[in-house]
A and B are shown apart, each in its own frame.
Chain A
């Protein structure tokens, strides 16, 4: 579902990613870990075409992102659910309206919108906060709205760049377990994180980046001990 072929990315001569080869299969659930500056966010930005690789190819569902015209980028992003560390909710809209936004922008009729938004809020267990504004919600609740928004259009791939970065440990685990449940419905999920506890608790695929290179990639892995000492 996600494939990177010999992908490099340099910022003004400084390499952020070096010759990355990676494949995440349909329905897979994987962590992307690594110390600060390892290139996790850079890799994510390549996947949702916020950046272009300096060399190599990035494929999502077989589509080469290098070949996308600017008009097709929105189409790509609608096939991805993206979850951010800072939630990126629309501040002047309620939780419900945040989740509904993309559907409405696509002209989905309001009855369908209600059905799909309610079901998405249901998944994140937030039906009772539908009419709250982001600043009336806790960080964990805001992130759940962010996840509901990411899944409302039924994307085959869910990308989450440090989704728990601003949350306490208990809430973080809840959020990641929620993402794991979503992946059980067939969605490919890639989560970047610093959080050892979560990675070690979940025992899923772990891709470790360091200084722009993949140093390990193991199924049911642990956060590298060496790294936890470093950071």
Chain B
């Protein structure tokens, strides 16, 4: 009970501190929110790419898109005779189309998808060779062999990961500076009050805690803002793009690639709160003379 009452008091002190910060609240929150948005985008991008790569990498399947003038079953039979082929699966254009309509709200257009063969190789190192062989067939219009794509995506992903580390470090430093300055100003403005509290025998924890919480609050609010931005981008830019361009994209995407924002959001909140609270703790440790 006593702890709860003290906590309640600390919250009130925190709110007072936020009130006294005035316009600099918005400065801190917007800078932190921008940083977290950039961080979140990079994180989401690398995570999605990693998912794509993983599911590509584990597949020994070559997708062969057939010209409509060939009967898929006949081609499949031919292909299954190849020594390196373990299995051939026929996926007719109608099935693909239904699948897609099930998972996405696709516009009512004529089925643009080709008949597809999923040809599974016996060994991973046969995949490339098999794909090249299939491509030479007159019945095959195009092939996609995920392992190849996976390598390229991986290079891109590594670039983003490294860039992400640098960007995060730079943004964290910038943000810490801004939070530090804001809380420093609050401490300066309240220097006399803080001195009085200290003379009254108010504990260090009680005096310091509101500044740490103020930082944490900045982190939390910024994370929420950044999440809103990312969510809107997801809802109103990426999702519509994917939907309208699905016909081009889908054949290249392996099944089961997650596009979940939840993990990114969680990391953003944790990072935001940690940077905010850390900034508050660091500044109050540096400037509080008690």
Contacts and interface: CB of A to CB of B under 8 A. Distances in A.
Interface of A: 48, 50, 70-71, 74-80, 82, 84, 88-92, 101-102, 104-110, 149, 153
20 contacts: A74-B201, A74-B202, A74-B203, A74-B204, A77-B199, A77-B200, A77-B201, A80-B201, A84-B199, A101-B197, A101-B200, A102-B202, A105-B206, A106-B2, A106-B6, A107-B1, A107-B4, A107-B9, A109-B1, A149-B200
A88 B199 contact: yes
Contacts of B198: 74, 77
B199 A48 contact: yes
Interface residues of B, number: 19
Given A77-B199, A77-B201, 20 more contacts: A48-B199, A50-B199, A74-B198, A74-B201, A77-B198, A79-B201, A80-B201, A88-B196, A89-B196, A90-B193, A101-B200, A101-B202, A102-B200, A104-B5, A105-B202, A106-B6, A107-B1, A108-B2, A108-B5, A110-B5
Contacts of B249: none
B201 A78 contact: yes
Interface of B: 1-6, 9, 193, 195-204, 206
Contact of A102 (B2, B195, B201): B201
Given A88-B196, A90-B196, A105 B2 contact: no
A84 B200 CA distance: 11
Contacts of B9: 104-105, 107
Nearest to B3: A107
Contacts of B5: 104, 107-110
A101 B196 CA distance: 11
A75 to B, nearest CB: 7
A29 B23 CA distance: 51
B1 A105 contact: no
A26 to B, nearest CB: 20
A165 to B, nearest CB: 17
Nearest to B20: A92
Contact of A105 (B3, B4, B199, B203): B203
A111 B197 CA distance: 22
A67 B203 CA distance: 18
Nearest to B195: A88
B193 A107 contact: no
A4 B130 CA distance: 95
A164 to B, nearest CB: 19
Contacts of B196: 88-90
Nearest to A149: B200
A92 B193 CA distance: 9
Top 5 nearest A-B pairs (CB, nearest first) are: A77-B201, A78-B201, A107-B2, A107-B6, A107-B5
Given A105-B6, A105-B206, A107-B3, A75 B201 contact: yes
A89 B197 CA distance: 10
Contacts of B195: 88
Nearest to A110: B5
A84 B195 CA distance: 13
Contacts of B193: 90-92
